[in-house]
Amino acid sequence: MPYLITEPTVIEAAGNKPKRIEEYAGGVNSEHEGVSVARMVSPEGWQEPGQRPEFEEITLVLKGTLRVEHVGGVLVVAAGQAVVTQPGEWVRYSSPEPGGAEYVAVCLPAFSPDTVHRDENDGGVEMTAPKMDLAKADAFADKLVGIINDGSLALMTSVGHRTGLFDTMASLAPSTSKEIAEAANLNERYVREWLGAMVTGRIVDHDAENGTYILPPEHAASLTRAAKADNIAVFTQYISVLGGVEDAIVDSFRNGGGVPYSEYPRFHEVMAEDSGLSSGAALVESILPLVPGLVERLEAGIDVLDVGCGSGHAINLIAQAFPKSRCVGYDFSEEAIVAARAEAERMGVMNARFAVRDVTVLNEAAGYDLITAFDAIHDQAKPRSVLKCIAEALRPDGTFLMQDIAGSSHVHKNLEHPIAPFLYTISCMHCMTVSLALDGEGLGAMWGEEKAHELLTEAGFTGVEVKRLSFDIQNAYYVITKG
Ligand SMILES: C[S@@+](CC[C@H](N)C(=O)[O-])C[C@H]1O[C@@H](n2cnc3c(N)ncnc32)[C@H](O)[C@@H]1O
């Protein structure tokens, strides 16, 4: 038979400010042991010590907002919402917002001072969870908002690069969206929305009165094709290329394995553009001279092999600069080799040949004086076999020049690396996963100098010198010999 609970028992509350607890059902008012139901009213700024209760607690917020800190973060529970905490997990309730909070708490089994296990933060006993630094939490939330804005701008910058909008705008006086769209031969509605992102992202300046937009020359210096090696917009394309495989990457997080090269429709195109910038003029002027005497030997004529040559830009440049040398590029991507041959033809290079080859099996003992690998070792499925093949294919006095990502094998040593988050991301979403897709070692782009030394020594190389170029923050240059 139903019975009436005519009034609650008002219970003394824990916390820094008076809070009203009205227990309707529970150990005190109704002698329930299995469940307790209480209405609570907490003022603005109220906070109680953390607790690790033995009971499950369901809290339904009637008015205001209740803040619930837990080991993994914070939940802000608004009126009309409820929060459930599990037995044994640490939580701390507070109502920092104006107006405080009114809520109903249901505990299973019933609330008891013996089973709530409050932190004794004033008795010298250590808190069971770290104290939340609210300023730090707010600063981090701000950082995340910045990440969302900047990530969005990366996508829009990639679009600006691919559509030629930056190049067009760099040559225009202050212009309307219609004039910019016409000059770039693009749809005005899209251009106007893109300009919205560019203006609010402080990339493009806007004159609201005249309805015009201008790309400041200081910004054009990092965004246009005319900027050549300084065109950072090229690299924003990686963000969209990587975004295209997110579903497959998430699947690999769950099930292992990897995402094969074939899943990246624009990878070779973007990589070629990237390499074209980073190794363009610098290759002949700065990179090759890192090896003492190499330029003179190339001028005299030597045998050169580039492993994992991709679209072949590097080896075509070497062949063009040193017509007496005999140059070969191998890559297992047919698409890349077709592009490499086409470029050789465009450049009128006669001393470079390309073949679709898996460089894990070279079988060309002592065939080359110089072997190069530009960003092509860390994403190998079997990097150890490739390095052994290179060691075998190199003549005794030959040099292996390996350009690879600069960094340490230890994450804590990469904290000050200016582009470490980008490099770990491109590694996770491309370099590492393409290797794992082939049941490979999955070294990843951030395999680092320590690991590189280990693998090079194992392959039989005895002389390894690591060099850096002042203008290149991304790469280390390993000058390697057999001793
Ligand atoms: C990161 S890309 C670098 C391409 C080029 N060296 C550049 O700097 O633009 C790595 C290249 O290695 C190639 N590759 C990976 N494993 C290979 C293998 N076992 N044999 C031949 N090519 C391979 C890929 O197809 C890809 O073109």
The answer as to whether 129 is a domain residue is no
For the entire predicted model, the pTM comes to 0.75
Mutate to test the pocket of ligand 1, among 315, 359, 447 (most ligand atoms within 8 A of CB): 359
- For residue 262, give the CATH number of its domain: 3.40.50.150
286 CA to centre of ligand 1 in angstroms: 22
309 CA to centre of ligand 1 in angstroms: 6
Q: Check if 275 has its Cβ closer than 6 Å to any atom of ligand 1.
A: yes
The answer as to whether 224 is a domain residue is yes
HEC profile of 177-241: HHHHHHHHCCCHHHHHHHHHHHHHCCCCEEECCCCEEECCHHHHCCCCHHHHHHCCHHHHHHHHH
User: Do 180 and 314 lie in a common domain?
Assistant: no
Q: Check if 433 has its Cβ closer than 6 Å to any atom of ligand 1.
A: no
Q: Check if 374 has its Cβ closer than 6 Å to any atom of ligand 1.
A: yes
Q: In this prediction, what percent of the chain has a pLDDT beyond 70? A: 97
pLDDT average, residue stretch 84-94: 93
User: Do 335 and 459 lie in a common domain?
Assistant: yes
Question: For residue 49, what pLDDT band results from cuts at 50, 70 and 90?
Answer: confident
CB 108 within 8 A of CB 123: no
CA distances, 384 to each of 360, 424, 443 (Å): 9, 21, 11
The answer as to whether 241 is a domain residue is no
At 15 the pLDDT is 75
Compute the half-sphere exposure of residue 160: CA atoms within 13 Å on the CB side of its CA. Answer: 34
User: Do 145 and 14 lie in a common domain?
Assistant: no
* pLDDT 10s digits, 425-448: 999 999 999 999 999 999 999 999
User: Do 152 and 299 lie in a common domain?
Assistant: no
Query: Structural domain tally of the chain?
Result: 3
Lowest mean pLDDT among 61-70, 273-282, 286-295, 473-482: 273-282
The answer as to whether 2 is a domain residue is no
User: Do 91 and 151 lie in a common domain?
Assistant: no
In the predicted model, is pLDDT for residue 481 greater than 90?
Answer: yes
426 CA to centre of ligand 1 in angstroms: 15
User: Do 92 and 146 lie in a common domain?
Assistant: no
pLDDT average, residue stretch 308-313: 94
**Residues 281, 287, 292, 296, CA torsion sign:** negative
Most confident of 5-14, 134-143, 166-175: 166-175
Q: What is the mean pLDDT of the chain?
A: 94
pLDDT average, residue stretch 49-64: 94
* Structural tokens at position 305: 């092999």
Tell me which residue has its CA closest to atom 26 in ligand 1. 310
Q: Check if 426 has its Cβ closer than 6 Å to any atom of ligand 1.
A: no
User: Do 289 and 326 lie in a common domain?
Assistant: yes
268 CA to centre of ligand 1 in angstroms: 9
In the predicted model, is pLDDT for residue 172 greater than 80?
Answer: yes
The answer as to whether 127 is a domain residue is no
Q: Check if 331 has its Cβ closer than 6 Å to any atom of ligand 1.
A: yes
306 CA to centre of ligand 1 in angstroms: 10
Region of 108 (left: φ > 0; alpha: ψ -120 to 50; beta: rest) is: beta
Q: Check if 441 has its Cβ closer than 6 Å to any atom of ligand 1.
A: no
> Please, is 70 exposed, middle or buried when counting C-beta atoms within 10 Å of its C-beta (0-12, 13-18, 19+)?
middle
Helix (H, G, I), strand (E, B), or coil: what is residue 312? coil
Boundary (domain end) residue, out of 78, 93, 122? 122
Give the domain range for residue 232: 134-236
Question: For residue 122, what pLDDT band results from cuts at 50, 70 and 90?
Answer: very low
* pLDDT 10s digits, 387-422: 999 999 999 999 999 999 999 999 999 999 999 999
User: Do 145 and 99 lie in a common domain?
Assistant: no
pLDDT average, residue stretch 296-322: 97
At 1 the pLDDT is 84
* pLDDT 10s digits, 334-376: 999 999 999 999 999 999 999 999 999 999 999 999 999 999 9
308 CA to centre of ligand 1 in angstroms: 3
How many whole angstroms separate alpha carbon 400 and alpha carbon 482? 9
User: Do 401 and 475 lie in a common domain?
Assistant: yes
Tell me which residue has its CA closest to atom 16 in ligand 1. 380
User: Do 70 and 180 lie in a common domain?
Assistant: no
274 CA to centre of ligand 1 in angstroms: 14
Give the ligand 1 atom nearest the CA of 430.
1
pLDDT average, residue stretch 83-96: 93
At 71 the pLDDT is 86
Boundary (domain end) residue, out of 236, 266, 296? 236
In the predicted model, is pLDDT for residue 253 greater than 80?
Answer: yes
Token pair 């619930």 in the structure block, residue? 68
Q: Check if 336 has its Cβ closer than 6 Å to any atom of ligand 1.
A: yes
- For residue 166, give the CATH number of its domain: 1.10.10.10
Q: In this prediction, what percent of the chain has a pLDDT beyond 90? A: 83
How many whole angstroms separate alpha carbon 443 and alpha carbon 313? 25
